[in-house]
Amino acid sequence: MNNQFVFVAVVSMLLVMSCNQKPKTDIIENEVTDIIMDMFKIEIHDASALTIIDSNATFEILVKGFSWSEGPLWIDELKAVIFSDVPTNKIYKWSEKDSLNVYLEYAGHTGEDNKDSGKGPNGLILDLENNLLICQHGDRRIASLDSDLNNPQPQFITIADSYNEKKFNSPNDLAIDRAGNIYFTDPPYGQPDNKTGDIGINGVFKISPEKKVTVLVDSLSRPNGIALSLDEQTLYINQSDRANPVLYSYDITEDGTLENGSVLFDFLALSKTTNGLPDGLKVHKSGNIFATGPGGVHIISKEGKHLATIKTGKSTANCAFSTDQKYLYMTTTDMLLRLGLK
């Protein structure tokens, strides 16, 4: 009789504990969500930013749970945004209709043996023929997807993988002009110990439509995000060097070389108090630059004036606009975010 009483008492106590624990878990999850939402803010530093963004615009967490999300790209044909998850060697696709799906595996380091190498894809763009171009860390090249956008397969055509017969480090981000020239950065992040390989520099390169590779800049320590001005007369480069985190501006000459390199915006003061470094960037139809950096995405005028900060509260890798530029998509560490623009 006593044993039965003890058994019932123990079971009852376990049930009570179980019931008490579940609300605590829910509370923690809710608190985490609230904290994440509280991190999202828009700070207006200049009234001109209000023509682009509303200070009370709503942030949307579209999906989360990635290792290091990167390189968002909106594709009209898919009615979706695709983005890289570098360590998992995958490209994902998110759409209003289907939510999240794996778009492409072995996307940055090809071959079955390299599935879990951690050296996946990074920057993504479409070329003039609507082919997907990928910065591949593992394969150390700029490659074109050799399959239909609607039925992607891990088949690639090499656009460029070396300069002067020396392999690139790990191509990171890229941009393309109206003539088909591809500009890209090649920091060492995909290399052991973040050191350059045979090529010996952390370069900024151009690939001509004939696939001729030219080095444009060989003096930067950590070139990362890259974008062209609307008139394609200026090249912007974000440098993710903790000792010198800056946004550079270069004039593009008639012969395609760069000159008058200068610091357009210095992130050093911000980097001392906020997580993150300069990374990807895009140019808005207004001509203003949406540059990722400490704390989120910074809207910077072409004259270098800090107009606004989109605070994500996390290290933010890159951003992209929808075609109509009504939305800004942002990859922030483990999340894909969306923000409405004017």
Task: Record the pTM.
Answer: 0.90
DSSP classification of residue 162: E
pLDDT in tens, 45-71: 999 999 999 999 989 999 999 999 999
d(CA 131, CA 160): 15
pLDDT of residue 290: 98
pLDDT of residue 184: 98
Closest CA to 322 of 86, 43, 62: 62
pLDDT in tens, 4-34: 433 334 334 333 333 333 333 233 344 555 5
36: pLDDT confidence band, cut at 50, 70 and 90?
A: low
The angle formed by the CA atoms of residues 60, 66 and 67, to the nearest 5 degrees, is: 140
Non-local (6+) Cβ contacts of 142 within 8 A are 133, 134, 135, 136, 158, 159, 160, 161, 171, 174, 182, 184, 207
d(CA 140, CA 315): 24
Tokens of 228: 């062209």
Mean of the per-residue pLDDT values of the chain: 91
Query: Would you say 316 and 331 are in contact if contact means Cβ atoms under 8 Å apart?
Result: yes
Query: Would you say 163 and 199 are in contact if contact means Cβ atoms under 8 Å apart?
Result: yes
pLDDT of residue 26: 34
Lookup result for tokens 């952390």: 202
d(CA 342, CA 336): 20
